[in-house]
Structure 1
């Protein structure tokens, strides 16, 4: 049996959302929050505007793109884009995991626009070349949070497109290069790669997206929290810190702290390098470890944030799905009980396995300390199977 490791991760937080806080974070980081103040006060507006400006600076968002803080996290931002912009053109939706499937369901069941659907099983991408990005509107996730599969780049998107691209980038922004020339709507949330707190989404609009908003009236009623125009003109205040509903100024302060930390590292390149280095620890370990495998089938699509893994041991697989699920859940429970790794179970709709967050707020040394514990926990769980047999 694999011996019990001596070293432990200093921080056991490997959740895929809300993600680990930035290294060194303490509640003292929130002392400057505009608590007890209206978000419409000069102090509140300044904080919100600063969050937008720093987002632009760190993510290198083009100057002609609008950035807004919107309700309901990344989900709210994606829904807002779909409900206000879709309709004039054929819609194509790519779905290879849970969240892409949500956008398919929304288009079919709520907006009832009968999109062209491009599906792939967990672990693979659909044929992106089959998507007509030149003529149609496209909704897709850049990084499939529940599958650990990302699009490798934006080369498949037409530069001379007539439709819009709506990109759910919540587990990609700040960790993976986004091709802003190819993206008209980009959404993400604070609680993913930057380790912020939940409930707030970010909506980034290209000039083409703004033109759509100002020229298109949806055929369906648009809820107040989704409305981005008034009198066929963009509500500019949303993109200068005048939020649609009341934000948490505590969460705003936390996001500002995370952005300041990113700048102190060297900005976007440093964040990308941290995520790449972190993910490499897990990908390399999986490549040399017979009992585990990457859920993603093509290394070119491996995520560097939410790395998803499945049991590959032949003896466990031979015992059937129930044994595979028991081993995976046993590893998750054992390491949580040990205080070694928290929240590393696969997403509820994904194949049974593990999901380990490797974004920039995680320390590489903690991931290196984690892998021996994964081997130890697997050995313990398979021993249980043997005894049960």
Structure 2
């Protein structure tokens, strides 16, 4: 196989990582000059900036007025674990596991909290049987599988008359997909995903039903300080008004404010979804005419518009051993990174071998247009090396 010439066009921004993700277009450190630095986060100014972040989040996402929004430690993982450790126990528990992080929540619930839970699982690229979700049980699930490129198409599988609480890890769905607030009691995400923000902080959103669970249930296990959201049997409301459990990075907070301002300025959630859909559309159109690649999520109805996962289906590669296929995918990502046209697009370590390309709203569609010829070039290059070996 002859290696083709390198494409003439290059993505202006090669950051296609699935977390931390690309900064918003036009971002500069100069946007953060108003950060409350060298001051306590509990100062009047610090609390005001944290509250502004919460208010702007509510505005852009359309969070109902009676839901609480808090900034918590530990990124999305910390937010999910705060909810599980604080709320699970009084009812049966079901978990949906169709990618790496959903499987992590299974481990936390069954191995750490030692709750006998029903696990509804599916292989990478598919969803579990959602018809098996029970209204009498608590539910923990990822809306969008960051490591599998699969999302639930909607929340129709969740009963409006449910008795349990629904804990939704929405870290790769928020700001890119419609979340059905009436069906969700806990929603979590991190700034480092669709906002292109900085890491280490999570956002925890609680419905009135979630608050009621917190105030009526006392966990049977010791609760670390970082997970405590109640005092004297009542939710600590200060946590959802700008106070935080531990010290946040006010630079990261300012960066989140900047991203939220940008989101509002372009048209809010509607435009962010449109941009993500357009980005996915570029890869769909390219894959349709490309013989060597396919989506891990074969069904378009459940295909993510943010964490897009691709697999190599070329017969010469598909016939290789699992380790050799993984090595081929790693080489694809490596040659693209060496050229400076795509950074950090290797598939997740626990996922099937392939590529993972972030398509959230902070990525420009023109950059994905410029990337696709480079993907073909990388495949031809690595395939030539394979044939010559």
TM-score (norm 2): 0.99
Give the equivalent residue in structure 1 for 2:45: 43
**Unaligned ranges ≥5, structure 2:** none
1:298 positional shift? 1.3
The counterpart of 2:66, out of the listed 43, 58, 64, is 64
**Corresponding position: 1:121 with 2:123:** yes
1:319 positional shift? 2.9
1:285 positional shift? 1.1
**Unaligned ranges ≥5, structure 1:** none
CA distance in 2: counterparts of 1:304 and 1:14, whole angstroms: 13
CA distance in 1: counterparts of 2:307 and 2:241, whole angstroms: 31
For each residue in 1:282-334, what CA deviation from the matched residue of structure 2 results, as whole angstroms up to 9, or x when unmatched?
12211221100100121110000000001000121123323322221111000
**Corresponding position: 1:228 with 2:266:** no
**Corresponding position: 1:23 with 2:40:** no
Secondary structure in 2 matching 1:285: helix
CA distance in 2: counterparts of 1:43 and 1:305, whole angstroms: 34
Secondary structure in 2 matching 1:68: strand
Q: How many residues align?
A: 387
Give the equivalent residue in structure 2 for 1:277: 278
Give the equivalent residue in structure 2 for 1:210: 211
Indicate if the aligned counterparts of 1:327 and 1:378 stay in contact, CA closer than 8 A: no
Give the equivalent residue in structure 2 for 1:97: 99
For each residue in 1:78-125, what CA deviation from the matched residue of structure 2 results, as whole angstroms up to 9, or x when unmatched?
000000000000000000010000000000111001100011011100
**Corresponding position: 1:365 with 2:366:** yes
**Corresponding position: 1:303 with 2:323:** no
Indicate if the aligned counterparts of 1:9 and 1:365 stay in contact, CA closer than 8 A: yes
TM-score (norm 1): 0.99
For each residue in 1:108-157, what CA deviation from the matched residue of structure 2 results, as whole angstroms up to 9, or x when unmatched?
1110011000110111000011111x110000000000000000000110
CA distance in 1: counterparts of 2:97 and 2:320, whole angstroms: 30
CA distance in 1: counterparts of 2:286 and 2:348, whole angstroms: 21
The counterpart of 2:87, out of the listed 71, 85, 101, is 85
For each residue in 1:238-265, what CA deviation from the matched residue of structure 2 results, as whole angstroms up to 9, or x when unmatched?
0001000000000000000000000110
Runs (4+) of structure 1 moved beyond 3 Å? none
Q: CA RMSD in A?
A: 0.7
